[in-house]
Chains A and B, each alone.
Chain A
Amino acid sequence: MSPSALVGLAVALPLAGAGLVLALGKWPNLREAATLATGIALFASVVSLLGPVRAGLRPTLTLMEVVPGLSLGFQAEPLGLLFALVASFLWVVTSLYSIGYMRGHHEEHQTRFYTFFAISIASAMGVAFSANLFTLFAFYEALTLCTFPLVTHHGTEKARRAGRIYLGILLTTSVAFQLLAIIWTWQLAGTLDFRPGGILAGTASKGVLSVLLVLFVFGVGKAAVMPFHRWLPAAMVAPTPVSALLHAVAVVKAGVFTILKVAVYVFGLDLMGTLAATPWMAWVAATTIILASLVAFTKDNLKARLAYSTISQLSYIVLGAMLANRWGIIGGGMHIAMHAFGKITLFFGAGAVLVAAHETEISRMHGLGRTMPITFGAFFIGALSIVGVPPAGGAWSKWFLGLGTLEAGQIWLLAVLMLSSLLTLVYLLEVPARAFFGMPPEGEVRPEGIHEAPWPSVLALVITAVVTLVLFVHPGPVFDLVSLVVPR
């Protein structure tokens, strides 16, 4: 199959899978098999694009012209391919995890869950492979809308309120800021295509372009830059597989991916370096990094703590984009992969603890590590990646981001990175420490019979933790892929 067709297949496959899941709703095992099969097929098609893209090809598939001058089209380029690889691989793993979780937790409406999951992945693929800002925006909004049923899955009053915050913040930022910025870009540049070197050079004054940059950064609400971050902790009301894939991988990564893409292919790094707004946005990202880490300290609910950790880590990538230099982009791009694997391991762990031990608060997780060693061991490895120390993959992305700050001459930002690593160390490693070494308070006895979570979930946990370790030893493939985005 030609590479162009493969690109289209990447978006179409999950949609077809969604239809299949809907049809097979009455037979749970067949339904789950359909999800897994679609996921594996998707990953296979995305992987087969790796060769052509590495060779320098940019397979393009233009679906149709929507209005004169704007078309709906896809193109495989290195950054998008990286996002697609991460998302499609983790879809398979998360589906495996979900089987164990949803059944172990006796969740309702499972068919609806798997159906909208598949549609969300299709939207994420659409974002990853978009050839222009219009296509990206279309799938970005689709992603918001089709994750809404997943966030509000439980249908409770709490879920409804969380859904309102989710939709409210994401739609407000995307319509009021991002859409304005996109149409403005169309007006200035006459096109919305992604091109190496950007499309905005020389189209307007530096002041106007600075405003445009600010609109884009705040308009991409999915990147959770403060103060538009509240939707992330609100979305934690969803079942853990949703939090894991969507809010550690697909939704948030779509956000930071958009920012990276806009930085490289709409503005162009050279132009960005000359804008007054760029260093300001870098500092906004830095503030988010520190503030989110501080808030994470105060959270006793494990998922809430992980949510704020995610907000902090996402701004690493935004920072990388705002450094407007080669190392910043490489670091940011690599962090898409590293953070995804690390964070998803953490969320898997949180869900496993919920299903197996029925605990959500960290203060009550003392001693669990002794009965759930695999879970908390994996959690430990994932935490190392987020902190950014060897032997976990996150060390590399942190390293390159640090190089980026030095190249940009911003020592203070390097200090921010160091400080946040320290904070992350404390608030994340508290969990496995308490689990392995904690003692229950006087008179409290833990109920008997707590084992590991159901085996599909544990298997998923182990896979992502192992990949995190592998990424440390073999960062080459990821590094090479991202380097193609910013050739010397």
Chain B
Amino acid sequence: MKILGLYNYWIVIGLMMIGFYTMISRGNLVKKLVGLSVFQTSVMILYISMGKILGGTAPILIEGRENVVYTNPIPSVLILTAIVVGVATLAVGLALVVRIKEAYGTIEEDEIHEQDDVM
């Protein structure tokens, strides 16, 4: 139970590290943003999986029934906000990449550095 039962956390950690590694190791600006996106998604999965209660039902109030176990709705609500934030971040990031492409002619990080160092 101990290790296999925590499978949601293992998935989160795995995704988080994949995302983080992508951000650091890839020189292409769009790939970095993809890595950031995967990284943020892993955190969302963390929240959602935290909210789930085994054997709990959807958190819609059932009239007249006592002692019903509901899944916690709050993490899902929080993640809705975080998803929006993630989308906005991605949008701003991609817009920046477009402008960088216009200004530098490339979106590879090392080529951009070369152009800047020459200046």
Query: Do A and B touch (CB < 8 Å)?
Result: no
